[in-house]
Structure 1
């Protein structure tokens, strides 16, 4: 019998549709659900899921069920994500990641052949949102503060929520390396050599995964 070859890809599995691009876990909920659909017409997929703290190694304080299961063609099943009860900050959001590894089955006619099996891994943000936070994600995004520190743009977030950037511009230059800024913290983002001027404009990603309202301000 021919041995199957394994190849790791970080792209989205062609046969598995994930129901959203990010997860918001409100602390007053017992669990959150993430729907998965196998769009294949004939072959099942094996699905393995877990959470981590952001380093890709340390497991997050959440239980994902089922952690490993088979999803038959044209079927849907939801992952159930439940908080383990571990202590987390109550005055700000916390960021974790959920990982979904999907492995396609091999068709019977290919079982005796050398088959290249693609193992896909989808990785998405999961925000733990405590009760009683002040403001909203939009208000937090709007109130970000910007200053120039040499060849870098300093962004300060005084709010309780993460701000995930869709885009940032200093003058007419796009700040390509702008990613996100955690609550109650600052980040330094490298600026392109063409960046100048005193006006910053930006958009943040909403809870629904789309670009939010455009804001602008002068550098501090």
Structure 2
């Protein structure tokens, strides 16, 4: 029991006072050859940093996507980040072809692994962060920061369908339905419809959701009511939509 408690304490301390990643999401624009991710170690301890890039199919809403060839490499893939220092991971494009009419989502996974031996009676734990990495072709129409405001919702026999007619991925953040928060709502892929099991039992579904812009800023909430008419037709009425600033 004592070891378990210490392990949890170590995890909490490491995630708050250890390695800090300079961003929660990253955009790799088509005209870039590489982008950098900054890491800062605020502790006195040395951490081993391991990074890799994989497909973005782990996020709900993109789990059925065709897994593309990974067109990036993270360098260095493994290095020591000494106490009270900083370093960068460089994401380098390989030139592999991706869709040019929409974004493609990948996962940047960064693990901070404690070096050295654990103190007697304690357990050291690695901390892994899975971050969104978007490949964005040049000259896509529209504003990616406003794409979440254009989502369309409809009732079906299986729940709610959400449609994204923009070329950008929309991250559903702080989504609530009839006042209840939805855990890990995921994303809505570009030019796609996503069927969800949400709001099956109610004839009226009031939704509130936010999203994140390229810099991780939380965007203003949109509130929408979706209901079923006497003819069984789903309707969508926006009751409140705060503009982006």
TM-score range, shorter chain: 0.7 to 0.9
Flag the structure with higher helix content. 2
Q: What is the CA–CA distance in structure 1 between the aligned matches of 2:140 and 2:12, rounded to whole Å?
A: 34
Answer yes or no: is the 8 Å Cα contact 2:157–2:200 preserved in 1.
no
Q: How many residues align?
A: 209
CA shift for structure 1 position 216: 3.3
Unaligned runs of 5+ in 1: 1-6
Q: What is the CA–CA distance in structure 2 between the aligned matches of 1:217 and 1:152, rounded to whole Å?
A: 15
Q: What is the CA–CA distance in structure 2 between the aligned matches of 1:12 and 1:209, rounded to whole Å?
A: 23
Q: Does 1:209 align with 2:227?
A: no
CA shift for structure 1 position 171: 4.2
TM-score by length of 1: 0.82
Q: Which residue of structure 2 aligns with residue 33 of structure 1? A: 36
Unaligned runs of 5+ in 2: 1-6, 59-66, 227-234, 236-245
CA shift for structure 1 position 11: 8.2
Q: Which residue of structure 2 aligns with residue 67 of structure 1? A: 77
Q: What is the CA–CA distance in structure 2 between the aligned matches of 1:103 and 1:89, rounded to whole Å?
A: 35
Q: Which residue of structure 1 aligns with residue 55 of structure 2? A: 53
82-91 or 170-179: bigger deviation = 170-179
Q: Does 1:136 align with 2:143?
A: yes
Cα RMSD (Å): 2.9
CA shift for structure 1 position 104: 1.2
TM-score by length of 2: 0.75
Answer yes or no: is the 8 Å Cα contact 1:140–1:159 preserved in 2.
yes
Large movers: runs of 4+ above 6 Å? 9-12, 56-59
CA shift for structure 1 position 175: 4.0
